[in-house]
Amino acid sequence: MPLHETESLVLKSYNLAEADRIVVFFSREQGIVRGVAKGAKRLKSKFGSTLELFSTVNLTYFQKEERELVTIQQVEMVRSCFSSASDPEFLHTFSYIADLLMAFVPPHDPSETLYRMTRACLDAASESTDGLAAIRLYFELWLLRLGGYLPDWSRCDECERQLTNNEPASMRADFHLVCDNCRRTRRLSSVSPLQLEVFHSVQKVSPPKFIELTNTRTETVIELSAILRRIITQVVGRDLMNERTLAVNS
């Protein structure tokens, strides 16, 4: 049985049998990993508090050939999120992020860039929970970009001309932009220069810097997030944020 060791984020856990739990990790080297933590429900479990949601841990596990569910051998805490996770807004944002990762990333398909981006978002949000809307947008946009689903908003999709700053643009149903000269119908929704600026800045700066840049632009952040959610819903085939909100309220 091969033994693996990799840094991971704890995304989700649920009860199995009497004393065991199933834990879903997002790992740096193996992507999404689902494993059984034997005895994790016992009071004096060897796993202690390491399996709390959104902990950053060093995970060691065994994997039998062809079997998706691995056996968790050891989990060491790298960074706890315990204090932030008691904030309902933090919990809501990162549970949604965990759902997105589980929907987008196939099991055992590693993406180190996606891992590092997710970890950077988690670290920034743990420092201060004021920028959660910005972190959510940052994550959504990079998830789409790394998956190859992000539309190119730097140019008009019809005439392929580079859109300049402060130029009004309209969004087609396929989420691509057209300039004012190419727009054939009035029914397209418009994308403001401010929305475009925020869209481009996500792709240039780190999560803490992005929180700082957008702290007076919460409205724009929320508007853009709503557009990206529509793209995500189309890719995944269902609205994960809506499902989460319904689950929280029921």
Residues that bind Zn ion (CB under 5 A): 156, 158-159, 179, 182
What's the CA gap between 1 and 61, in Å, rounded? 10
- The least distance separating Zn ion from the CB of residue 175, rounded to whole angstroms, comes to 16
Tokens of 27: 């790992």
What's the CA gap between 27 and 209, in Å, rounded? 25
Residue 11 or 179 having the CB closest to Zn ion: 179
Cβ(27)–Cβ(110) below 8 Å: yes
- The least distance separating Zn ion from the CB of residue 183, rounded to whole angstroms, comes to 8
Residue 159 or 246 having the CB closest to Zn ion: 159
Considering only CA atoms, which of 54, 206, 209, 224 is closest in space to residue 133?
224
What's the CA gap between 57 and 79, in Å, rounded? 7
Residue 102 or 182 having the CB closest to Zn ion: 182
Residue 36 or 182 having the CB closest to Zn ion: 182
- Burial label, 250 (beta-carbon count in 10 A; 0-12, 13-18, 19+): exposed
Residue 107 or 168 having the CB closest to Zn ion: 168
- The least distance separating Zn ion from the CB of residue 79, rounded to whole angstroms, comes to 47
The DSSP output letter for 30 is: T
Q: What DSSP letter does each residue of 168-231 carry, written as one string? A: -EEE-TTS-EEETTT---TTSEEE-HHHHHHHHHHTTS-HHHHHHHTTT-HHHHHHHHHHHHHH
- The least distance separating Zn ion from the CB of residue 180, rounded to whole angstroms, comes to 8
- The least distance separating Zn ion from the CB of residue 155, rounded to whole angstroms, comes to 8
